[in-house]
Each structure stands twice: as C-alpha cells, then as structure tokens.
Amino acid sequence: MRNLAGSCRRSGGHTRVAPLGRSRMSSACRQKSARNCDHGAVGPRRRGTWLVVAVAVVTASTWHDYATTSSPTASAVKASISHADAATSSPTRSAAPSLRSSPSALATDAAVAYQINPAHSGTQSGDPLKPGLARRWEVDLGGNVSYPLIADGSVYVTVAFPAALPAYTRMYALDLSSGRSRWGPVDLATAWATSAYDSGKLFVQLGDGTLKALDAGSGAALWTLRLPGTAGFSSPPTATGGTIFTAGAGYVDAVSESTGTLLWHTQVMNGDASSPAVTSTGVYVGYACNQDYDLNPTTGSVIWHHTSSCQGGGGLTPVPSNGRVYARDPVQKNLILDSATGAELGVFTAGPAPAFDGGTGFFLNMSAAGLPPADGGTLEARDASTGTVKWTFAGDGGLKSAPIVSGGYVYDGSSSGALYALAENTGQVVWTDRISSGFTNPDSGQYPALAIGQGGLAAPFGNSLVFYTSAVLAAPAPQPTSGSDSAVAYQLNAQHSGGQSTDPLRLPATRLWGSALEGTPSYPLIVGGRIYLTLSGSPTKLAAFNAADGSVPWPAVDLSTSWALPAYDGGRIFTISADGRLRAFDAATGAQLWQTTLPQSSFHSPPTAANGLVYVSSRGPSSGTLFAVDEQSGTVRWSQNVAGGDQSAPLVTTTGVYVSYTCPQVYDFDPVSGHLIWHIGSASCTPDAGRTPVLSGGRLYVRDWHTGLILDPATGDQLGVFQSRVAPAFSGSMAFYNNGEALEGWDLPTSSMVWRFDADDGAFAESAPVVVNGNVFEMLAGNLYAIDGKTGRQVWVGAVGAEPTAYESGSGTVLGGIAAGGGYVVVPGGGQITVFGSGGAVNPPTATPADASVSHQVNPAHSGGQPSDGLTPPLAQKWSIDLGGAVSYPLIAGGRVFVVVQPAGNVGPRLYALERATGRSIWGPVALSDVRGHAILAYDNGRVYATGPGPGVVSQISVMRAFDAANGTEIWSRGGVGNPVASQGRLFAGPRRLDEETGHQLWHPVTYAVDGFLDDVTQGGVYLTEGCEFAFDMSPADGAIVWRHYGAQCTSGPPEESVVYGGRLYMHEGLTSTETILDATTGAEVGTYASDTPPAFAGNLIYFLRANTLEAHNLPGPGIAWTFAGDGGLVTAPVIVNGVVYIGSSSGTLYGLSAATGTLRWSGNVGAAMSRPDPMFADALTGFGAAEGTLVVPAGARLVAYVSATPAPTPSPTPIVTPPSRSDPVNQSSVNPIDSSRTSNQSPSLSPSPTPMGTPIPSSAPTGSASPTPTAPSSPCRVL
C-alpha cells in the first residue's frame, strides 16, 4: 500500500484525483491509520477545515470556520459596489482644489504580505505610527475584505463575494490619504483571491491556480500564469527578492516576478491554506498533523520535513522568528521548531498567527488546543526564550485578529468591532476605537488581518476597510457662538454644535413642568425666558410657552400646513412649512410680519437665521436649491443649486454657509453673495437625503449614510473621519458621538475614544446630544441623562417618558430634539413637552442610624422586626394628624417621619416629611404625580426614594424619585424601574441595582424579568418574587444570578411581599391559601405556611395573621406557641419592637402583646379604622413604622404617633389559657444551617421559648386601662 499524502479538496464543486504518486482518500477515512485506510473517492473539503488521519482514532474530526461574513446577492453586491465607487472616486469640484488631506510626508515602509512582511511576523519596524490614532477614512466595499497591503501611497485589498452567483472577487487600489479609488476595481473570476506586493508589482493568487501580476500604479495586467493543479489554491502568496512563493494542489511553487516563469515546483503533504513564510535561508509552510517544511528558496529542495503518524488537509501559516519556527496545528499541537533542523523545541498556545518584536512574542491564546471559540481569547506577551508570560489582556472578551507590532505598541481587534493599541512592555491600553462590525477569523476566507505601513494602520472590519493615522496633536480652534445663552436653531445655534458653555443651569435639575401638546413637537427654541416650537398636525401651529411655569404668552398660531420647522434671530421667529411658505413672526406677540413662498417642491430642512438672512434648502424634481431670504422683508437675496437640498439645516458663520448631503455632496457658499467657495462630491452620485453639518473647533463634520467626514471648513480638505448616527455635540476639546446603542466621548487632540456610555437594557438613543456646562444631555429609554463630558460618569437622570419626535428620519417626519438655554433643558416628544431647571441644594449623604424604619415592615428584609428600639408599653399617644387622604406606611429616620398621602379625587400621591417629635411639617407636600396611584417609599443614607406613577402623560410608567431627606430637594428621577429597597448604600429596584446618588444603573442581569413588588435585601442576597412562585436570588455586588425557582403551576395571584429571615425566603402572593418557603441559599422548597399578611419574626418565633387572628409559631416548626384574636377584627401586618408585638384592628384598636407569651401588655384606640396592607387595590400601602422610640401608625387619613408612657402601667389582664383550636398551618422540613452572611434583622432568641400547648388566648375585648385619649398636635397639618 502506498503512503497517503493527498487530501480532499474541492474546486468549483467538483472532486479531483489526488496528485501523482498519492492514493485517493475518502472523507470517511479521516483519523484512521494510513495502513487501514479505505481508498475511496476523494471527498469535498471546505476552506479552513482540517482533514486529519491519525493513528488509533476512528471518528472523523474537522475544524470548521468559526466566523464568516455573509454577502449579498450578485446584483445587490454590484449595486453596492457601484455606490461605493462613486462615494470614493475623485470628486468633481467647483471653484476649489481637489479633495485631499494634508498629511506629513509618508514613511517608506510597506506592508507587503499577510501579517505585514514575508516572514509573517506581524512586525513593522521603523514606522512613525503612534497612538492615539485618528480614523483617516472608512469605505464600505460590499464584500469580505482581505488583509491589506500598503505601499506606494496606496492600500490594496481583495474583496470576495462568495454568496453571489457566480461567486467572484475584486482587487481594489485605494488612495492612502483619502480612501478613494486609484484604479479598478479589477474583477477576478474566482470565489477567493489573495495578494502580495514587491517592487511596484502586485501578485494575485486566484483560487483556481491562476497567478496574476499587475502594475501597482495602474492596475494593468503584466502577465498571467496557470500553476500546475486545479484546486486548493487557498494560500496567500509571498513575494520578495524577485520571486513569488505560493502553494496549492499539494505543491509549493516559486515564480519569477519579472517574467511569470515557474522556477521550481516542490511536492508537500497538502499545500493549501498556509502562506509561505520566507527568510533569506528558508521557505516555511505548515499543514495538518504537524507536517511542516523548510524549503531552499532558490532550488525548492527540502531542507527538513517534520512529520508525524497522521496526515490530512488544511494548513496554517507558520511564523519564523529568532531561530525558531512557530507552526500551528489546532487539532494536534502548536510546535516550536528549530528553524535550521526542524527539531522540536517546545509547544505554545495560540489561535491566530503570533507576532514578534525582538525577544518578545505576542500570542492570542484562544484555548488549550488552539481552537478559536466564538467569544475570542486572551492576548499574552511572552519571553520568546523562556515562555514566561509578561502580561495578559482580554479586552472585551472577543479578541479575534492576529496581533501586530509597531513602534513599541501592539494592536489587536475583537469580534465586537473594538480595536486596541497596547504598550508593548506593559500591556496597558493606550488607545481604543470601536466600529459597528467586528473582526472575523484571520485564518480563513480572505484572511482579514491588520496591517501597518507608511504611517497608517489599515483594518478590515467585515465589509469595511478603515484606515488610521496618528492623531494631529493640535488644540481645536475656538468654537463660534451665537453670543447669547439661547437656543436659536436646530442643535442650539447656527453652527449646530449642540453646546452651551455658560448656561445658568445647575445640577441636580428638577422637573419644573410638563404639558400635553396637540400635535407632534419640533426641536424647541429657547430665547428670553420663552420656549418656541412648532406642533405639526391638523392643523400645524406655532406655539410659545413661558419657560418658568408653562403659561402661554400668546395663543398658538395656525400655520395651515402639514408640518413646519422654526428658527430665531433678532426678535423674530421664522418657520418653513412643507409647501415652501417661509413666515416671520414677532416673538413677543406672535403676530405674523411677512410670508414668502419659495419655488421648490419639497421642504424638509430646518431653517437657520443669522447675519440678517434666513437660510433654507429644498429639493426639487431634478436638483435642490439653497435660498437666502432677507429677515426684514422676506425678499430672496440669492439662491444656488445643490445636488440634494433635503434634510440638511444650513450651517452659518460670518464667512460661510454649509450644507451636506449623501454621496457625500458638501457645499460652502459665501453667506452674503451666495458665491460658491468650494464643493466636493462626485457628479455621478445623486444624493437622496441630507444630514445637518456641524462646525466646531475649526473643523466641519458632515455625515453620509455609512460614515462621517471631518473637513477643513476653509478648503474642504479631508482631515479625518468619525461615526455618529445623529449630529455630534462638542465641549472644549471633547466630541460626543451617538452611535445609536451608546454615547461616546472622544478626545479631539488625540482622536481617541475616552469613554462610552452604554444605553440601559439595549435601548437606542435617537436624539442628538446637547452639552451644558460640560455635561452631556442625552435621551435613552424615556429618561434624560446628564453625563460628565470628561469622564463619561452619569451625574444625573430625569424621567421624561417619551423620546423626541425623530432623528433626521426622513421626509414627512418632524425633526425633534433636546434644547438647552437660559437655565432650562427642554425635551419634546410623545405628544408632550417636559421642562427641567436648576434644583435646590443637596446635603451630603449621612449614615442611616441603626434604629431606623427604612422600608415596608421596618427593614429591607421586611421581617417586621425592630429589636434594638427602646419603645416599651404602656404607650402614650404623642400626636395625631389628619392628612386628608389615605396614608401609607411611614419611614422613620433622623428625627423625621416620611409618608405618602393619596388625597381624594383625581390627583396624584403627595410625599410629606414630618417632625417625629411633634408631627409638624418639615417639607412637602411634594406632588409625585398628577394621577392616582400607589407610591412606595424607602430610606437610606439621608435619602428618601419614592416610586409611583409618572407625572402628566408619563403616568403609564413607574417613576422613581430620590429626595434629600433633610430639605426635600429632588436629586434625580428615573422612569421604568421597580419599587425601591435601600440598604447600606445600595439601592435596588426589581432586578436592578442603582447608584443612590445619581440613579445610574449598576446592573440589570435579568432583563426578561418583571419588577415584582419589593426586593428582599440582606447582606449577601437580593431576592425577587414575581408571582406564579417564580423567584430568584441575585448577588448584591454584581447582580449575578445565584439561583432561580420556578413554580410548578401558576395558581397564585400577583406577588405581594415576600420576607427573608433565618436563611429562608417566605414567599407571599395574592389569591392563594398556602405560601411557599424556600431555602434562601439554594432556592429549594423547604415548606409551606399560611398568612393573610406578610409574616413577622422575632428570635425563634414567626407571627402570622390568619382569619383575623394573630398566631405565633415556633421555628423551625411545627408548633403553635400562642394565638390572639383581639376584638375579632385584626387586619394589619404585625411588627415586633423590643419584645412586643404590635397589631391593629379594623375597629381602630391597637394592641401590644408579649412576643414570647402573647400576654396583652397594652391597648389603645387610634381614632380611625386600620386596614390590611393591600399592594394592589388600596389607595395606599399601609403598615406600621417603629424607630427612635416611636411607633407610627397610619389609620385611614390619620397618622398617629406613640411613645413610651411615663406613668406606671396598669397590669394586663390574665389571659385565658386554652389549647389551639386549629391545626398548625406551618409545614416545614428540617432546617439547614443558617448562613449568617445571607441573613439580616435577626433578633436574639426570646427566653423562655413558648411551648405549643397551653397557649394563652386573650378575650376578644381586652380589659385593663382605658385607651389613651387621642390628642391633637399643637399645630395640626391637614391637607384638603
């Protein structure tokens, strides 16, 4: 039997016979012994797949491509490429020089092969590139982009379209400074092709074995050679010293660069997917099963061959460095071989090809076997001699590309689109960027890899090629301003820069007012204490509001059109309507001053007013027009034709008027005469829409569909690129880009991203940001965020409820947006307008006292226990007040009592802060909403948190608001979150944790989960129940899910309030007679119980209210300790304070019982009926609060406070001892040891422990001292 050296290959969908001297091998014989292999027909193989024959292994093993990029159909590809060609070809210019950049002299170094050089070491010596980097240009080529070659001032790539019918590839030559096409593209009739460069020539290896030589300057064909063989030509070629080295069809070939003559043809075991690595002394290739070769560069003779007992198809590019060859095999092992002898020196771990600089290697460690997982790997710097790891870097967890090294920095990219520059010696990140698409497998397809050369870095991201250069370290030029703190146009000013640097607004902001609107609001204007905006609808109107209180200075003006957009200048408001009617109005009175009808058919661009002229652009059937109209008379002063005209608000300075449209088409006109100063854009590309340009820091920012260009406003020369879905905003040396999913802060001098503020829960940011006093305001998921422009840290959030109307979304829609000026931030959207202004002073946080009542049922675990308080019966009524509506459970901390009152009528809940000692008002009432609804309270560190219905038209969402407990200043508000529970500096709301001081979301791991009712919080766990017996436990630190519990069936009602105590979670849901008990550590079911209200706990007793009777049960159970029926009307949830259980009746009677024995210690009447805590249907959630020696009781509209009485108590009546009349409802299994780190609020065991038998049952009408007579406070507070 002959030795097996062939492999399974496919060319054009046909199988081929193995080369001469080789037996054919079926795919089924992979991983079998060569001697026992059944030699059937050769089966097909995929590129990037290993076919291995290994001793004593009987199952087939393949390594498939783990990252591919889909491509459009042939027609779609050709259309998109045609568009890309137009967008990047040399533009037609009028009255201005050609579009170009102004770079410094480029270096002479080049990237000539896969991984930069013929040895594929990923190293570029002597290149001047240094981070931070700036995007020079970006082009979408429509297909899978290969590794770039950089030489002669050009970037060369091949682009494959494998999904087209038939599949094809193109060769592109792009200008280094602009990204525009220098020649081509050249069509290559093959599914894939790769290239190399040497001495002014390009050498392109086609998948069918054709090798082409092209002139690098012109793209002209020089010669074509068909190499021996018909398939498997998937190895990138390498060209150096006058010779091209390539491989395929089981051979390595050497070809003359000048003549195309085949110089030598050496057989190897496989021959594909391994680019020859060339040094002065050897040509190295590596294939499956560690079949690695060193060939003589001149003769092709085999210098050495490292072999093993298996063979197969596929290969990977080896890397020679420092006398070693790093040969990869993801199925067998990655070997370090002696470059002179092929002897094994060791093994290494890496997925893509490693890179080397001096004695240090850089390895992307994908897995132990080298197989690249979908989620990327870890970059390691290792000493090449010893293998010692110097540093590691994981990035975003998706590192994918082969690393490269230049100038002391290592570059690598991820599957999410992140690109990193690291200091070579330390691994410290010094620069990063993010593109919308990510890196794919660098060892398959078009071998997408990074390249550095001639002062730039080229990065293939999917279908796009992005080119970077070192950032220009120059301070931005001063930003032009409107000269006043006003918002006079779209994005605040005539330059649309979105910045207010000296506004009187101070954070925290507070919601001043909101109003429903009749129509869709535009972006607002803010001038002289008034807000102006158009309301598009039937009919469209121009409306004005006084900014301070929302009052109307003059009636809305009917514009008799479908929609309109405004601008302001010199005491006048100008509106352009869809039909071309331009109007001027007196801003003081709303009176119309003049009207001019402009001669075009489509007006969807915001106007801009400056220099005594109103500028507006429009679109007609064949071209667009830019108009300049006199502000005083309405006379058209000049007009100019433009290629576009739609959806681009003119940008106006004293020296230029700029408009920009897709393709791109960008114009600069003289603002007075209308003469064209410069124009860039291809005559072959007709734009279909526009994007408002922005001027800041002496740079002009214009946007196309796919990318943005940074231009010199004086010449139109390209200075760089940027990405922003909407108009960017600027402050000082920072730029702020909205990419839809996140807001990014970029440092302009270094052109590097400083921070990224991700939208919560995947929300998209639709509006353009504005900057006030260095804080960036952006709308995300119905909330207005203020973000520190320097650090990206959230400093404030305010609930709005609806996004601004649109974001340049197309004709027929009204352009909305945020506006800021005069100390106000105005947000229109969702049929409403919301206005924020400066809030009050905020005191620093103060530690929560140990003796405080901070949540419903006293504590964050809702266990109803307050063991350390000194309250002792008998009690005396301290004060009683009528608050004019249903009163909630109270919070008690820092000498204050906080409650929510729901007044009668269609009004919303009110928050009160009362003095604990007297009941007098400290601050409030604060209206939490305009509509009725529950409001839930929590307290921590000098802050009161209240969640209730949103204000105005936002009432359909819940809004949490944070207040300074000392003075009532609103610190922040946030919509769409659950009810608050706060403890030890931690604020929780459903499956979220928020920052107490800013409202910033710290984690939200269970995005599918609803908010439940109230979290149960202990030191080590956050427990949430959602109904249907669904519960889970989250880590307080990071939200990691500890366990989940799913109910067997959904027979219960909505969740009410669960309780954590003694290492167990007592679920409590409505409409069910039996409640489930879970192990708080594991989530396992450990028993059941029955209670009409949340249970309370003290020591080793648990207290239930069942059928108006209070029951005390032993823990761990079973065993009833005692029962108490009172007057037969017990309804409240019990609380335990200093060994006494307090419970109330619907008759108004309040009882205090010995927690240990049930003996009646005291009773009194609060003067009104108390009620069961009902979180669903009642006007307010009721319950007791106990702290600071005070018991505070809500009863209907009354709030009553009790303290310890100074006279000696009257002895309590002797209870009648009778056995329990019912069976014990607690059914619990054995108790696991309690994890003290996951419990809280546990009282010491009461001694002696009560026994199940001989339970005292007091009479229904308690005897003893008469109930204390309620007394009114000296200054009663009543809300009518």
Q: 3-state class of 1272 per DSSP?
A: coil
Least confident of 235-249, 483-497, 790-804, 1196-1210: 1196-1210
Token pair recorded at residue 742: 């996140």
In this predicted structure, the answer to whether residue 1255 has a pLDDT above a threshold of 60 is no
Q: Which helix (H) or strand (E) holds 1144?
A: strand 1140-1144
Q: Which pLDDT score is estimated for 831? A: 82
Q: Which pLDDT score is estimated for 426? A: 92
Q: Which pLDDT score is estimated for 1094? A: 93
How far apart, in whole angstroms, are the C-alpha atoms of residue 653 and residue 734? 21
In this predicted structure, the answer to whether residue 1021 has a pLDDT above a threshold of 80 is yes
With the C-alpha atoms ordered 98, 102, 107, 112, is the resulting torsion angle positive or negative?
A: negative
List CB contacts of 76: < 8 A, sequence separation 6 or more: none
How far apart, in whole angstroms, are the C-alpha atoms of residue 293 and residue 278? 12
How many other C-beta atoms can be found within 10 angstroms of the C-beta atom of residue 597?
12
Assign 342 a pLDDT band (cuts: 50, 70, 90).
Answer: very high
Alpha-carbon distance values, 48 to 438, 459, 744 (Å): 19, 21, 37
CA-CA-CA-CA torsion for 691, 692, 697, 699, nearest 10 degrees? Answer: 40
List CB contacts of 393: < 8 A, sequence separation 6 or more: 378, 379, 380, 399, 412, 420, 422, 427, 429
Token pair recorded at residue 1256: 């005292």
With the C-alpha atoms ordered 516, 521, 523, 527, is the resulting torsion angle positive or negative?
A: negative
**Can you name the CATH fold of 499-838?**
Methylamine Dehydrogenase; Chain H (2.130.10)
Q: Which pLDDT score is estimated for 249? A: 79
Q: What is the identity of the amino acid at 880? A: S
Assign 889 a pLDDT band (cuts: 50, 70, 90).
Answer: very high
Alpha-carbon distance values, 1042 to 632, 860, 1006 (Å): 70, 19, 12
Token pair recorded at residue 905: 């009528």
CATH 2.130.10.10 domain position(s) in the chain: 78-470, 499-838, 865-1232+1245-1257
How far apart, in whole angstroms, are the C-alpha atoms of residue 673 and residue 650? 15
Whole-number average pLDDT of the chain: 82
**Can you name the CATH fold of 865-1232+1245-1257?**
Methylamine Dehydrogenase; Chain H (2.130.10)
Token pair recorded at residue 48: 């990037």
User: pLDDT per residue over 1135-1180, tens digit each?
Assistant: 999 999 999 999 999 999 999 999 999 999 999 999 999 888 889 9
Give the DSSP per-residue string, 1201-1259.
EEEE-SSPPPPPPPPEE---SS----EE-PPPPP-GGG---PPPPPSSPP-SSS-EE--
In this predicted structure, the answer to whether residue 491 has a pLDDT above a threshold of 90 is yes
| Contact predicate 914/1277, CB 8 Å | yes
In this predicted structure, the answer to whether residue 1227 has a pLDDT above a threshold of 80 is no
Question: Cis omega before residue 132 (within 30°)?
Answer: yes
Q: Which pLDDT score is estimated for 230? A: 63
List CB contacts of 765: < 8 A, sequence separation 6 or more: 725, 738, 740, 741, 742, 743, 759, 778, 779, 780
> What is the end-to-end Cα distance of the chain in Å, rounded?
104
With b for 16 or more beta-carbon neighbours within 10 A and e for fewer, the 348-368 pattern comes to bbbbbbbbbbeebbbbbbbee
- What order do you get walking across the sheet with 1075-1079 strand by strand? 1059-1061, 1064-1066, 1075-1079, 1085-1089, 1227-1228
CA-CA-CA-CA torsion for 837, 840, 843, 845, nearest 10 degrees? Answer: -40
List CB contacts of 724: < 8 A, sequence separation 6 or more: 701, 703, 708, 737, 738, 739
Q: Which pLDDT score is estimated for 312? A: 75
User: pLDDT per residue over 943-1001, tens digit each?
Assistant: 999 998 876 555 567 899 999 999 999 999 998 888 999 999 999 998 899 999 999 99
User: pLDDT per residue over 382-419, tens digit each?
Assistant: 999 999 999 999 988 889 999 999 999 999 999 888 89
Assign 339 a pLDDT band (cuts: 50, 70, 90).
Answer: very high
How far apart, in whole angstroms, are the C-alpha atoms of residue 518 and residue 833? 11
In this predicted structure, the answer to whether residue 1260 has a pLDDT above a threshold of 70 is no
- Quick one: what percent of the chain has pLDDT higher than 70? 81
In this predicted structure, the answer to whether residue 265 has a pLDDT above a threshold of 50 is yes
Which CATH superfamily does the domain covering 78-470 fall into?
A: YVTN repeat-like/Quinoprotein amine dehydrogenase (2.130.10.10)
User: pLDDT per residue over 928-942, tens digit each?
Assistant: 988 888 899 999 999
Least confident of 437-446, 535-544, 1064-1073, 1248-1257: 1248-1257
Give the mean pLDDT of 175-185: 91
Token pair recorded at residue 276: 């020859």
| Contact predicate 125/160, CB 8 Å | no
How far apart, in whole angstroms, are the C-alpha atoms of residue 77 and residue 903? 65
Q: Which pLDDT score is estimated for 1006? A: 63
Assign 1207 a pLDDT band (cuts: 50, 70, 90).
Answer: low
How far apart, in whole angstroms, are the C-alpha atoms of residue 154 and residue 1135? 79
Q: Which pLDDT score is estimated for 750? A: 77
Residue written as token pair 């071989």: 337
Q: Which pLDDT score is estimated for 722? A: 85
E strands, 384-488, are 389-393, 404-406, 409-413, 418-423, 429-434, 451-453, 456-461, 464-470
How far apart, in whole angstroms, are the C-alpha atoms of residue 729 and residue 734? 9
Q: What is the identity of the amino acid at 220? A: A
How far apart, in whole angstroms, are the C-alpha atoms of residue 309 and residue 291? 10
Q: Which pLDDT score is estimated for 470? A: 87
User: pLDDT per residue over 140-172, tens digit each?
Assistant: 899 999 999 999 999 999 999 988 889 999 999
Phi/psi at 777 (nearest 5 deg)? -100, 130
Q: Which pLDDT score is estimated for 287? A: 93
Q: Which pLDDT score is estimated for 1259? A: 31
User: pLDDT per residue over 820-853, tens digit each?
Assistant: 999 999 999 878 899 999 999 999 999 999 999 9
Q: Which pLDDT score is estimated for 929? A: 87
Q: Which residues pair with 1162 in a beta bridge?
A: 1152
Least confident of 46-60, 469-483, 500-514, 1151-1165: 46-60
| Contact predicate 856/898, CB 8 Å | no
What secondary structure letter does DSSP report for 452? E
List CB contacts of 1250: < 8 A, sequence separation 6 or more: 1101, 1112, 1114, 1121, 1122, 1156, 1157, 1158
Give the mean pLDDT of 1048-1072: 77
Q: Which pLDDT score is estimated for 372? A: 44
